[in-house]
Structure 1
Amino acid sequence: MKHIRRMIVTASFAAFTLTGFSPAALALDVDAAKDLAEQNNCKQCHGLKKDKDGPSFLKTAEKYKDKPNAVDEIVKHLTSGKKVKLADGSEENHKIVKTMPPNDMAQIKNLAQYILSIKP
Protein backbone atom coordinates (compact mmCIF):
# COMPACT_ATOMS: atom_id res chain seq x y z
CA MET A 1 0.00 0.00 0.00
CA LYS A 2 2.84 2.44 0.86
CA HIS A 3 4.44 1.67 -2.48
CA ILE A 4 1.24 2.58 -4.35
CA ARG A 5 0.90 5.87 -2.43
CA ARG A 6 4.51 6.73 -3.21
CA MET A 7 3.89 6.04 -6.90
CA ILE A 8 0.80 8.26 -6.88
CA VAL A 9 2.67 11.12 -5.18
CA THR A 10 5.59 10.78 -7.59
CA ALA A 11 3.28 10.68 -10.61
CA SER A 12 1.37 13.74 -9.36
CA PHE A 13 4.59 15.69 -8.84
CA ALA A 14 5.79 14.70 -12.32
CA ALA A 15 2.49 15.81 -13.84
CA PHE A 16 2.73 19.23 -12.16
CA THR A 17 6.33 19.61 -13.30
CA LEU A 18 5.60 18.59 -16.90
CA THR A 19 2.69 21.02 -17.15
CA GLY A 20 4.88 23.91 -16.05
CA PHE A 21 3.80 24.11 -12.43
CA SER A 22 6.24 23.82 -9.59
CA PRO A 23 5.47 23.31 -5.90
CA ALA A 24 7.07 26.69 -5.19
CA ALA A 25 4.82 28.45 -7.69
CA LEU A 26 1.76 26.83 -6.18
CA ALA A 27 2.82 27.88 -2.69
CA LEU A 28 2.78 31.67 -3.27
CA ASP A 29 0.59 33.42 -0.70
CA VAL A 30 0.18 36.94 -2.10
CA ASP A 31 -1.72 38.29 0.90
CA ALA A 32 0.92 37.06 3.34
CA ALA A 33 3.69 38.55 1.19
CA LYS A 34 1.92 41.91 0.99
CA ASP A 35 1.40 41.87 4.77
CA LEU A 36 5.09 41.11 5.38
CA ALA A 37 6.14 43.90 3.01
CA GLU A 38 3.78 46.27 4.83
CA GLN A 39 5.06 45.25 8.28
CA ASN A 40 8.64 45.90 7.15
CA ASN A 41 7.84 49.22 5.42
CA CYS A 42 9.22 47.94 2.10
CA LYS A 43 6.99 50.34 0.19
CA GLN A 44 8.73 53.27 1.83
CA CYS A 45 11.66 52.70 -0.54
CA HIS A 46 10.21 50.38 -3.22
CA GLY A 47 7.17 50.99 -5.39
CA LEU A 48 5.29 48.14 -6.93
CA LYS A 49 5.93 49.35 -10.48
CA LYS A 50 7.67 52.70 -9.92
CA ASP A 51 11.13 53.30 -8.53
CA LYS A 52 11.46 55.26 -5.30
CA ASP A 53 14.72 55.42 -3.33
CA GLY A 54 15.14 51.77 -4.32
CA PRO A 55 14.13 49.89 -7.44
CA SER A 56 10.50 48.91 -7.94
CA PHE A 57 9.47 45.32 -7.33
CA LEU A 58 8.81 45.14 -11.09
CA LYS A 59 12.39 46.21 -11.90
CA THR A 60 13.69 43.57 -9.48
CA ALA A 61 11.46 40.92 -11.06
CA GLU A 62 12.75 41.86 -14.51
CA LYS A 63 16.37 41.78 -13.32
CA TYR A 64 16.04 38.22 -12.03
CA LYS A 65 13.66 36.92 -14.72
CA ASP A 66 14.62 33.42 -15.90
CA LYS A 67 17.51 33.13 -13.43
CA PRO A 68 17.39 29.76 -11.65
CA ASN A 69 18.65 31.20 -8.36
CA ALA A 70 16.36 34.25 -8.36
CA VAL A 71 14.53 33.46 -5.11
CA ASP A 72 17.81 32.74 -3.30
CA GLU A 73 19.37 36.00 -4.53
CA ILE A 74 16.42 38.06 -3.35
CA VAL A 75 16.31 36.22 -0.01
CA LYS A 76 20.01 36.97 0.45
CA HIS A 77 19.33 40.65 -0.25
CA LEU A 78 16.41 40.73 2.20
CA THR A 79 18.37 39.04 4.99
CA SER A 80 21.96 40.29 4.66
CA GLY A 81 21.70 44.00 5.41
CA LYS A 82 24.22 44.74 2.65
CA LYS A 83 24.89 48.29 1.52
CA VAL A 84 22.61 49.69 -1.15
CA LYS A 85 22.86 52.87 -3.20
CA LEU A 86 19.84 55.15 -2.97
CA ALA A 87 18.40 57.29 -5.76
CA ASP A 88 20.17 60.39 -4.39
CA GLY A 89 23.56 58.60 -4.56
CA SER A 90 23.91 58.03 -0.83
CA GLU A 91 24.39 54.56 0.63
CA GLU A 92 22.83 52.79 3.57
CA ASN A 93 22.43 49.25 4.81
CA HIS A 94 19.33 47.58 3.44
CA LYS A 95 16.92 46.77 6.25
CA ILE A 96 16.73 43.11 7.17
CA VAL A 97 13.23 41.69 6.81
CA LYS A 98 11.80 40.72 10.18
CA THR A 99 9.27 37.93 10.54
CA MET A 100 7.19 36.50 13.33
CA PRO A 101 8.39 33.98 14.41
CA PRO A 102 11.90 35.39 13.93
CA ASN A 103 13.90 34.37 10.85
CA ASP A 104 11.05 32.43 9.25
CA MET A 105 12.61 31.59 5.89
CA ALA A 106 9.30 30.35 4.46
CA GLN A 107 7.83 33.84 4.91
CA ILE A 108 10.90 35.50 3.41
CA LYS A 109 10.93 33.12 0.42
CA ASN A 110 7.23 33.81 -0.09
CA LEU A 111 8.00 37.54 -0.19
CA ALA A 112 10.78 36.90 -2.72
CA GLN A 113 8.40 34.84 -4.87
CA TYR A 114 5.84 37.64 -4.68
CA ILE A 115 8.41 40.21 -5.83
CA LEU A 116 9.34 37.94 -8.73
CA SER A 117 5.67 37.53 -9.67
CA ILE A 118 5.15 41.26 -10.41
CA LYS A 119 4.30 41.79 -14.09
CA PRO A 120 4.08 45.02 -16.12
Structure 2
Amino acid sequence: MNGISKDNEDGIVYQDLIGDIIKRSEKEGAFEHLKGKGKPQKLDGDLSYNPDRLLNKILKDNNVLPSWIQMDKEIEKRKAELAGYSNEYNIRKSIEEINKKIFNYNLSCPPSAQKPKLKFQDYLPNDS
Protein backbone atom coordinates (compact mmCIF):
# COMPACT_ATOMS: atom_id res chain seq x y z
CA MET A 1 0.00 0.00 0.00
CA ASN A 2 2.67 2.52 0.96
CA GLY A 3 1.81 5.50 -1.21
CA ILE A 4 0.36 3.60 -4.17
CA SER A 5 0.25 5.82 -7.22
CA LYS A 6 -3.21 6.47 -8.56
CA ASP A 7 -4.22 7.74 -11.95
CA ASN A 8 -7.15 10.15 -12.10
CA GLU A 9 -9.21 10.94 -15.21
CA ASP A 10 -6.84 13.76 -16.21
CA GLY A 11 -3.92 11.37 -16.43
CA ILE A 12 -2.22 12.94 -13.43
CA VAL A 13 -0.51 10.47 -11.12
CA TYR A 14 -0.60 11.17 -7.40
CA GLN A 15 -0.01 9.37 -4.13
CA ASP A 16 -2.84 9.11 -1.61
CA LEU A 17 -0.67 8.76 1.49
CA ILE A 18 -3.36 9.72 3.99
CA GLY A 19 -5.87 7.33 2.43
CA ASP A 20 -3.28 4.56 2.58
CA ILE A 21 -2.56 5.25 6.26
CA ILE A 22 -6.28 5.15 7.09
CA LYS A 23 -6.82 1.87 5.17
CA ARG A 24 -3.78 0.27 6.84
CA SER A 25 -5.03 1.42 10.27
CA GLU A 26 -8.48 -0.02 9.59
CA LYS A 27 -6.95 -3.39 8.66
CA GLU A 28 -4.85 -3.33 11.82
CA GLY A 29 -7.97 -2.68 13.91
CA ALA A 30 -7.15 0.83 15.05
CA PHE A 31 -10.79 1.89 14.79
CA GLU A 32 -12.43 -1.17 16.38
CA HIS A 33 -13.00 0.66 19.67
CA LEU A 34 -15.25 3.14 17.82
CA LYS A 35 -17.75 0.57 16.54
CA GLY A 36 -21.12 0.73 18.21
CA LYS A 37 -20.32 3.98 20.02
CA GLY A 38 -22.37 7.15 19.84
CA LYS A 39 -25.84 7.88 18.62
CA PRO A 40 -26.50 7.30 14.93
CA GLN A 41 -27.43 10.45 13.03
CA LYS A 42 -30.61 10.67 10.98
CA LEU A 43 -29.75 11.78 7.48
CA ASP A 44 -32.38 13.34 5.30
CA GLY A 45 -32.55 12.58 1.60
CA ASP A 46 -30.63 15.66 0.48
CA LEU A 47 -26.98 15.30 1.41
CA SER A 48 -25.81 18.35 -0.56
CA TYR A 49 -23.90 21.04 1.27
CA ASN A 50 -26.27 23.94 1.88
CA PRO A 51 -25.25 25.99 4.93
CA ASP A 52 -28.41 28.14 4.88
CA ARG A 53 -30.68 25.10 4.86
CA LEU A 54 -28.64 23.49 7.63
CA LEU A 55 -28.73 26.66 9.75
CA ASN A 56 -32.49 27.03 9.27
CA LYS A 57 -33.02 23.40 10.31
CA ILE A 58 -30.91 23.84 13.45
CA LEU A 59 -32.78 27.04 14.38
CA LYS A 60 -36.16 25.40 13.76
CA ASP A 61 -35.25 22.26 15.73
CA ASN A 62 -34.30 24.46 18.70
CA ASN A 63 -37.29 26.84 18.44
CA VAL A 64 -35.10 29.86 17.70
CA LEU A 65 -36.31 32.55 15.33
CA PRO A 66 -33.89 34.73 13.37
CA SER A 67 -33.82 38.29 14.74
CA TRP A 68 -35.42 39.75 11.61
CA ILE A 69 -38.48 37.49 12.01
CA GLN A 70 -38.80 38.60 15.62
CA MET A 71 -38.53 42.24 14.48
CA ASP A 72 -41.23 41.61 11.85
CA LYS A 73 -43.61 40.33 14.53
CA GLU A 74 -42.93 43.43 16.66
CA ILE A 75 -43.52 45.75 13.68
CA GLU A 76 -46.82 44.08 12.82
CA LYS A 77 -47.94 44.28 16.46
CA ARG A 78 -47.11 48.00 16.59
CA LYS A 79 -48.93 48.62 13.29
CA ALA A 80 -52.05 46.92 14.69
CA GLU A 81 -51.87 49.16 17.78
CA LEU A 82 -51.46 52.21 15.52
CA ALA A 83 -54.84 51.52 13.91
CA GLY A 84 -56.53 52.30 17.24
CA TYR A 85 -54.96 55.76 17.66
CA SER A 86 -56.93 58.91 16.87
CA ASN A 87 -54.60 61.60 18.24
CA GLU A 88 -52.33 63.02 15.51
CA TYR A 89 -49.38 63.40 17.91
CA ASN A 90 -49.61 59.74 19.01
CA ILE A 91 -49.92 58.61 15.40
CA ARG A 92 -46.88 60.66 14.34
CA LYS A 93 -44.72 59.40 17.27
CA SER A 94 -45.75 55.77 16.69
CA ILE A 95 -44.99 55.99 12.97
CA GLU A 96 -41.54 57.42 13.74
CA GLU A 97 -40.82 54.54 16.13
CA ILE A 98 -42.16 51.92 13.71
CA ASN A 99 -40.12 53.39 10.85
CA LYS A 100 -36.96 53.08 12.97
CA LYS A 101 -37.81 49.42 13.54
CA ILE A 102 -38.48 48.96 9.81
CA PHE A 103 -35.09 50.51 9.01
CA ASN A 104 -33.31 48.02 11.32
CA TYR A 105 -35.47 45.18 10.03
CA ASN A 106 -34.53 45.99 6.41
CA LEU A 107 -30.83 45.91 7.32
CA SER A 108 -31.08 42.37 8.65
CA CYS A 109 -33.72 40.61 6.53
CA PRO A 110 -33.36 39.10 3.05
CA PRO A 111 -33.95 41.66 0.27
CA SER A 112 -37.17 39.94 -0.80
CA ALA A 113 -38.67 40.45 2.68
CA GLN A 114 -37.94 44.17 3.06
CA LYS A 115 -40.74 46.55 4.05
CA PRO A 116 -41.48 50.11 2.96
CA LYS A 117 -41.58 52.84 5.60
CA LEU A 118 -44.98 53.94 6.84
CA LYS A 119 -46.41 57.22 5.57
CA PHE A 120 -48.06 59.55 8.03
CA GLN A 121 -50.84 60.43 5.55
CA ASP A 122 -51.97 56.79 5.37
CA TYR A 123 -52.76 56.74 9.09
CA LEU A 124 -54.50 60.08 9.59
CA PRO A 125 -58.04 59.81 10.91
CA ASN A 126 -60.66 60.29 8.16
CA ASP A 127 -62.49 63.05 10.06
CA SER A 128 -59.67 65.61 9.64
Q: Which bin holds the TM-score, normalised by the shorter protein?
A: under 0.3
TM-score by length of 1: 0.24
TM-score by length of 2: 0.23
The one of the two structures with greater contact order (alpha-carbon pairs below 8 A, sep at least 6) is 1
